[in-house]
Chains A and B, each alone.
Chain A
Amino acid sequence: MIRWELYKLVRQRRTLFGLGAAALVPVLFVAALEITGEGPPEGEAPFATQLLENGLVVPLVTLAFATFVLLPLVVAFVAGDAVAGEVSAGTLKTVLSRSVGRTELFLSKAAAVGIYCLAASAVLAGVGLAAGYLAGGFAPLAGPGGTPISVGRGIALVWAGAGLVSVPLMALAAFAIFLSVTTHNSVGSGVGAVVLVLLLRLASGLGLAGPLDPYLLTNQFEAWLNLARDPIAWEPIARSIWVSLLWGTCFLTAAWAVFTRRDVLS
């Protein structure tokens, strides 16, 4: 079932659109750098000061930027369509009239969306690496506090960062799936998940969350930067993983409970 859920996913325009957007961002970023000859001002992004001389910084900066809007957006709109799209096309009743159980179908869909989250981060990282290499070649980096990072470790940092970012992305996708199951509205579910991201960012920015601030889903997206420290700060990384898993499990369980019990009427 998972294989076919993935197949359906890659055959849909919105999926390719999302992956295309993830691929386009590093390319546009490099193109803008080349044209203007200016990077973002210091302090706006990690490693920003080295941007003009070292292509290895390109995937790191684009990954950090993409976690704000782009990756949540492309994940939200695909995950929001997971069930709602099938309801509006009338295919959910077609599939559920066969032998497959609702739990199995639900888990296959969730797994396919999870793989899509990984794929979106990986495309961004891969294209970022390629674009950065072509634009400026790779050189060792200066990490936070000036610790040197070799080219090999820099490349590993990009891939590990993409992997870590996809964990809170999956939790966000679980929320979009929950909306998809309950509202049966594909676009609304995508928008809803993006609104959640904006509200959490706002709450964090205004300091409304108080002691809960480190546990907001949106504050798990930057944990991967701790991999650049020397020694690596594992505590925030581990927290990012378990906090994201907690959010994701809650949303996914709620979505499953609704999906397996609700009458299929359309």
Chain B
Amino acid sequence: MGARRGASVLEVLGFTKKFGDFVAVDSLSFEVRRGDVYGFLGPNGSGKSTTIRAIFGLVEPTEGEIRLLGRPSGGPGGREGVAGFVDMPGFYDYLSARDNLKVLAAADRRKGEPPMTRVLETVGLLGRERDKVKTYSTGMKQRLAIASALLREPEVLILDEPTNGLDPGGMRDVRALIRRLNEDGLTIFLSSHLLAEVEQLCNRVAVIGHGRLLAEGTIAEVVGGDNGRPGYRLVVDDAMSALRILQGTTHVTGASVAEPPDGLGGEEIRLAVGPEGPGPVVRDLVAGGVAVLALVPSRPSLEDLFLELTEEIS
């Protein structure tokens, strides 16, 4: 995951969007490279949709630039090789799914027959394609939106909350589909406020809040504040003695007293250990007369980080 990254396919360069005096997005910059499943995280109203609209050229940047596959996104041919949707995608509900796809294929101005049957099959709508879209459930519309994007046979897929409105089974299917498409070579840019989803799917993330970039990098980089070193939760009988001992060793790169754990008794310390792992830490503590009640690896979740980052600024 992400050690050797491909060429840049989406560059957001100092993108700013103002609506009157309101700054929806403020100097946002990040880069998506070929092969990424890139997570775009932020609470509702953080500027995610505005950014995605600008990626599709639906919104003109007030400042900055967005480049897709090396071309300015708003310019002629800017969306070639790129497909996806923003917000809840709209369809002509008085037409069948197949007719909707035909209208959109006409808007693609591509030569030759679009791979209609294949994309319907990919998203599991084959057999329902002659039904009017007004008879579709939210989940089916969401799958039709993915089908309509795949119809362009893109290199880059841009999905705005693709599991929104789906039941757990539908979510699982869409995630499996995203993984499969990525394995087939598609670069995927995916906005979400479902942190577990992003953790499962994405190799890189950008976290935004109030239109500003709060964090960017691999999940490990963004989550593991301590240079990506594994974090642990240590429960001891005497936290102050333990901290004194730990500060005298080289096996620990950072330690702090945390909220006491429920029900376990004792006092909790959060720490990050060096390359030798947690073994020497336990040895030192026991040698120093501290009772180690528990030592469990605790990668802070993306959710912890997300809440921390987005609450800091509000």
Contacts and interface: CB of A to CB of B under 8 A. Distances in A.
B94 A263 contact: no
Interface string A241-266: 00000000000000000000101110
B103 A101 contact: no
B53 A93 contact: yes
A94 B106 contact: no
Contact of A100 (B58, B86, B107): B107
B89 interface: yes
Interface stretch (A3-11, A28-36, A209-217): A3-11
Q: Do most interface residues of chain B lie in helix, strand or loop, or is the interface mixed?
A: loop
A151 interface: no
B104 interface: yes
A98 B90 contact: no
Interface string A47-68: 0000000000000000000000
Contacts of A96: 56-58
A91 B53 contact: no
B53 A98 contact: no
Nearest to A264: B58
Contacts of A13: 94
Interface residues of B, number: 34
Interface string A74-115: 000000000000100111111111111100010000000000
Given A8-B103, A264-B59, A98 B79 contact: yes
Contacts of B90: 86, 89-94
Interface string A1-32: 10110011001110000000000000000000
B10 to A, nearest CB: 14
B85 A97 contact: yes
Interface in B249-307: none
Given A94-B85, A263-B59, A264-B53, A99 B91 contact: no
B94 A99 contact: no
A99 B58 contact: no
Contacts of A89: 90-93
Interface of B: 53, 56-60, 76-77, 79-80, 83-95, 99, 102-104, 106-110, 148, 152
14 contacts: A1-B107, A3-B106, A4-B103, A86-B90, A91-B90, A91-B91, A97-B58, A97-B85, A99-B77, A99-B109, A100-B107, A100-B108, A264-B59, A265-B59
